[in-house]
Amino acid sequence: MHPAAPPRRLVAALAGISCLLLPLLGHLPKAYAAADADEAAIDSIRAAGGDIVVSVGGWSGDKLGEKCTSAAAPAGAYQKVINAYHLKALDIDIEDTEFSKATVRQRVVDALKIVKNANPGLVTYVTTGTTPTGPDATGKDLIERGAVTKIVVQYKG
């Protein structure tokens, strides 16, 4: 990116990180880091006044909230990504089975609370599926769980 170009936000997807792969996350940024060209692009974006937001999760693959048995495990995985990329913002994409099961939704909310407590300035986005008129009952339940837990996130449905 040309230094005079307006800042952009690069969204890097790290979908499919599962609790089965958590031991490998200790090798970040080597195991899951961007290639040299991507690191150069990230550095260029930051040098121009922009920043990146990493999106974790998604529709396919193993879900941290589902595969992990405690909130601490996905929180630890999110923290390793935050540390590896020196993030100021993180997008958690909660979909499919991670979204549809109440106990899993709560585990994700609890993991986000751990992350927010460890990183008070971190902007956290939650992306979910939604209907044309807004969140359905499951989405509203997720929002309510976050409110009860007193975490502040930016909801993107």
Report yes or no: 63 and 74 within 8 Å, Cβ to Cβ.
Answer: no
Do the domain assignments include residue 52? yes
Bridge partners for 125 per DSSP: 91, 154
Angle at 88 between CA 157 and CA 107, to 5 degrees: 50
Q: Residue 93's pLDDT is what?
A: 86
51 vs 90: CA distance, rounded Å: 11
Confidence (pLDDT) at 86: 87
Question: Is residue 109 included in any domain, yes or no?
Answer: yes
Does the predicted TM-score (pTM) go above 0.85? no
Tell me whether residue 49 is in a domain: yes
115 assigned to some structural domain: yes
pLDDT confidence bin for 9, thresholds 50/70/90 = very low
| Alpha-carbon dihedral sign for residues 107, 113, 117, 123 | positive
Q: Which residue has the tokens 């998604």?
A: 58
**126 lies in which domain range?**
9-156
The predicted pLDDT at position 156 comes to 55
Inside any domain, residue 73: yes
pLDDT tens digit sequence for 100-134: 899 999 999 999 999 999 999 998 888 888 889 98
Distance, in Å, from the CA atom of 58 to the CA atom of 83, rounded to the nearest integer, reads 21
**CATH code, 69:** 3.20.20.80
Kindly name the residue from 39, 95, 98, 144 that is annotated as catalytic.
95
How confident is the model over 49-104, as pLDDT tens digits? 888 888 888 777 778 888 888 999 999 989 988 888 888 988 888 888 888 899 99
Whole-angstrom distance, CA of residue 87 vs CA of residue 102: 29
Q: pLDDT tens-digit profile of 11-51?
A: 333 433 444 444 444 444 444 445 556 677 788 888 888 88
In a domain? residue 132: yes
Note the pLDDT of residue 107: 93
Q: What is the predicted pLDDT for the residue at 118?
A: 96
Rounded Cα distance, 102 and 150, in Å:
18
Does some domain include residue 147?
yes
Nearest to residue 10, comparing CAs of 44, 42, 43, 34? 42
Domain count, the chain: 1
What's the pLDDT tens digit per position in 130-156? 889 988 999 898 888 888 887 766 555
95 annotated active-site: yes
| 53 falls within a domain | yes
pLDDT of residue 153: 60
